[in-house]
A and B are shown apart, each in its own frame.
Chain A
Amino acid sequence: MEAQNPSAMQPHPEQAEVTAQLETKSKQQHLVRQDEFASERHVYEPHPIGLPPLDSYVRELWRRRQFAFELARTNLRAQHFNTVLGQLWLVLNPLLLTFIYFVLVDIVGRGSRGSTFLAHLMLCLFAFRLVSTSITEGAGSVVGGGKLILNVAFPRALLPLAAVITAFMTFLPTLGVYAVMHAIAGLPVGLHLLWAIPIVVLLLVFASGGAMLIAAVQVYFRDVRSFLPYFLRIWLYASPVLYYVHEVPHKFKPIIDANPLYPLLGELSEVVNRGQNPNPKLLAVGLAWALGAFVLGAFFFVSREREFAVRL
């Protein structure tokens, strides 16, 4: 493995440095391998409660993160592989969707909507799709990974997390589309836009929890995936996407308040679309929803995942 480097025996001055580099490299490789050997001892015992030891679970998960990224990339490639426009759909699809919704809302609002609203609708629709795509992709992730689950021992949470990465990869190009819209609408550009970053991170945390939860539920109830499109459609209508938060009539306010995505989507629009600083209270509520969803989803998934192999 760490074979004798032949050039090491001929001390050419200009080669010395290269050789030294090679040597350190092979030493590093050697160290890595040693580490792996050390970790190649496994003891499997019954877990007192439903959860496996979390520290080693997270370590194994992190060690295989490349798998989640590779899976997300191949999924993305496979989705648009056979279409004429190929990857262009990643931009075209959300653009058409925005257009359809805008026409709909503008007709209902008797043509009162302007470009600022269009920018709001586009931004929030893309952010909502980040979550809904994570959940839809997540639903099929475990059931679709059947043979891999039957054959290899690995932290199963990688499968729904890969679905979230897929969703994020489809979200990224839409940011470029939105940037153009933002400029056309002449909306303010400044440091306040940076608030969008933590909000998107929280959306991702929330989406990960949702994806893990639905992925595990799908194993037990295979028809959940058929309900999902309707559920997600209603959720979209109950979120401040096709309207501004302040336009919501008083009697519908409790529904909006109960929507876990309302604080994050609402604040995203406030920050980016209206150029305001976020409301700390709403951000805190959004944070609580995101963490709550993540802990619930992760707990449910990880405590159930050892059963997947006999349920598939």
Chain B
Amino acid sequence: MLSASRNRALAVGGEAHWSTDSAVRVDDLSVTYRTTLEKKPTLKSTLVRLGRRERIVRQIEALRGVSFAVPHGTVIGIVGVNGAGKSTLMRTIAGILPPTAGRVEVNGRVSTLLALGVGFNSALSGRENVILGGLAAGLTRDQLAEKYDEIAEFAELGDFMDMPMRTYSSGMYGRLAFSVAVNMEPDILLIDEALSVGDARFKQKSFDKMRELCAEARTILIVSHALRSIGELCSEVIWLQNGRIEMRDEPAAVIGAYTRFLGVGQSDVALEDL
């Protein structure tokens, strides 16, 4: 399985129309941000705290000197415990969070599935959300019209596409989001925790779709806790720990080390898509 996807990556590498060799290059990347611990920041609570001279803003060093390169047409898995910096890394590559130090270089059209992000306004229909999301991502109306049918068909939502998204079940949300992300003809696809959307049938379908994208020399970065899927899909796995790269190697090796670190062993529950 592993060597097969490696070979495929090598085979299609020659067709790639890129002058630069890496799809994603991350050099000594550090991301530090300040965020508030409040649930809902308000002026009132700020004034109250000012009176008490408290500070509630905390500095978070999410990434500390991460470097790696991803060649075109490879599938990289990223694993790590909660808060290890996985999502921050994905958002920085997507250009959503700015680097504090270091450099990120991305060659190709990026499509993201980071926060089940289509349904940003649940009062609008699935169709309106897809179009707004696509326009925000920089696609033109013509390109969207071209892709819309594919997206709707892949998501298998039927009449729900024209109903407000608040009527959707969470599985339907996930299906639409996944369908948008994979059908944007991305050169680089960033997926965060979304392998297990929908029912078993849709899961299988999304798995096949990602295989298909790999075969087309698309580059994919996946963050997931579903270690078995990671092991089957990826040609390489990066293990992040406390904002640093703990290990980067073949899937089997990294997953072995990571599960030993977690102390769970490779039981079915541990590897299962949670």
Contacts and interface: CB of A to CB of B under 8 A. Distances in A.
B43 A46 contact: no
Given A307-B33, A311-B36, A148 B136 contact: yes
A157 to B, nearest CB: 12
A7 B50 CA distance: 75
A310 to B, nearest CB: 5
Contacts of A78: 121, 123-124
Given A40-B187, A309-B96, A148 B33 contact: no
Interface residues of B, number: 53
A151 B115 contact: yes
Contacts of A230: none
Interface residues of A, number: 43
B168 to A, nearest CB: 13
A153 B135 contact: no
A222 B36 CA distance: 13
Contacts of A46: 98-102
B128 A74 contact: yes
A67 B46 CA distance: 34
B120 A45 contact: no
B120 A223 contact: no
Interface in B97-130: 97-110, 112-121, 123-124, 128
B104 A40 contact: no
Contacts of A37: 109
A154 B137 contact: yes
A38 B122 CA distance: 35
A63 B116 CA distance: 24
B115 to A, nearest CB: 4
B107 A41 contact: yes
Contact of B121 (A42, A43, A44, A144): A144
A150 B41 CA distance: 18
Contact of B41 (A47, A222, A306): A222
A309 B97 contact: yes
Interface in A150-166: 150-154, 158
Interface stretch (B87-95, B213-221, B235-243): B87-95
Interface in B147-196: 187
Interface of A: 36-37, 40-47, 52, 60, 63-64, 66-67, 70-71, 74, 78, 144-154, 158, 220-224, 227, 306-307, 309-311
26 contacts: A40-B107, A40-B109, A41-B106, A41-B107, A42-B106, A46-B100, A46-B101, A67-B132, A67-B136, A70-B131, A78-B123, A145-B121, A147-B115, A147-B119, A148-B136, A150-B91, A150-B117, A151-B96, A151-B113, A151-B114, A151-B116, A153-B95, A153-B110, A154-B138, A222-B41, A223-B43
Top 9 A-B pairs, shortest CB-CB distance: A151-B117, A153-B95, A67-B135, A147-B120, A221-B43, A150-B115, A148-B120, A223-B42, A44-B104
Given A42-B95, A63-B138, A147-B117, 5 more contacts: A36-B109, A45-B104, A46-B99, A150-B96, A311-B35
